[in-house]
């Protein structure tokens, strides 16, 4: 299995002069927690897609075994879908797990997710009260993904509480051809590479299972408020692998 960490973004909202994956959390870069989790879960190759201040990653990971850096030269003009495209263009078909670089999350549920029998799956948790920046999930009665949206009014929750996508997805080698075809069609039909990768999984033939982990301990670092939450409330609680 290959791990893909999308790490090209600039982190404008937290006003730093380094990639978000290099934020100092507990005395080491945030991205190192995902690398440790992936390796512990048996992922033998990790691709990190760089962009903003890529030289910082290059220095940090120089000669690190099992880690390949690929550069998204269009990072300033594109969305995360192009980073995924950059990663897939650098590799042969393989089962993959795709992660955002700016997340911190508990090991136990992640380990269960990685060991689950589903090769195409999305890790989800319920949306806590007061969270207004969730990536909401609509699913069918079999817990297959139907739709992803930042707007809760654009998803049909039925009688269920809202669940969110946190930026961790498994995708089988058989699905990669569909993902590549979706990306090429999206670029061709829109004339743009400015798209987010979150929406690819609802748009291809492969069905993605939503694996639910209630009250999951995790955080992203999209802005300073989320970063403070990560440092003060999430990091002290997580179990490290």
Q: What is the mean pLDDT of residues 170-192?
A: 97
Looking at the chain, the whole-number percentage of residues with pLDDT higher than 70 is 100
pLDDT tens, residue by residue, 141-171: 999 999 999 999 999 988 789 999 999 999 9
User: In the CATH hierarchy, which fold is given to the domain comprising 2-234?
Assistant: Spore Coat Polysaccharide Biosynthesis Protein SpsA; Chain A (3.90.550)
pLDDT confidence band for 207 (50 / 70 / 90): very high
Domain parsing of the chain, residue ranges: 2-234
pLDDT of residue 114: 98
Q: What is the mean pLDDT of residues 72-86?
A: 96
pLDDT tens, residue by residue, 107-143: 999 999 999 999 999 999 999 988 888 999 999 999 9
Q: What is the mean pLDDT of the chain?
A: 96
CA distance 90 to 73: 14
pLDDT tens, residue by residue, 91-102: 999 999 999 999
């Amino acid at each position: 299995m290959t791990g893909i960490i999308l790490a090209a973004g600039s982190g404008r909202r937290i006003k730093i002069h380094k990639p978000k994956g290099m934020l100092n959390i507990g005395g080491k870069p945030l991205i190192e927690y995902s690398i440790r989790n992936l390796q512990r879960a048996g992922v033998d190759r990790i691709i990190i897609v760089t962009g903003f201040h890529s030289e910082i990653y290059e220095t940090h990971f120089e000669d690190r075994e099992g880690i390949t850096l690929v550069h998204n030269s269009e990072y300033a003009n594109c969305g995360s879908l192009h980073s995924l495209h950059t990663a897939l263009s650098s590799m042969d078909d393989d089962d993959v797990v795709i992660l955002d670089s700016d997340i911190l999350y508990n090991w136990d549920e992640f380990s269960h997710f990685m060991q689950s029998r589903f090769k195409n799956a999305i890790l989800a948790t319920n949306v806590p009260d007061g969270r207004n920046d969730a990536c909401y999930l609509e699913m069918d009665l079999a817990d297959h993904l139907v739709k992803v949206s930042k707007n809760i009014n654009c998803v049909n929750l039925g009688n269920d509480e809202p669940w969110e996508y946190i930026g961790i997805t498994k995708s089988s080698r058989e699905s990669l051809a569909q993902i590549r075809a979706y990306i090429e069609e999206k670029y061709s039909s829109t004339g743009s590479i400015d798209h987010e990768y979150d929406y690819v999984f609802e748009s291809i033939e492969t069905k993605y299972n939503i694996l639910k982990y209630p009250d999951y301990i995790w955080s992203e670092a999209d802005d300073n408020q989320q970063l403070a939450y990560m440092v003060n409330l999430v990091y002290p609680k997580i179990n490290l692998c």
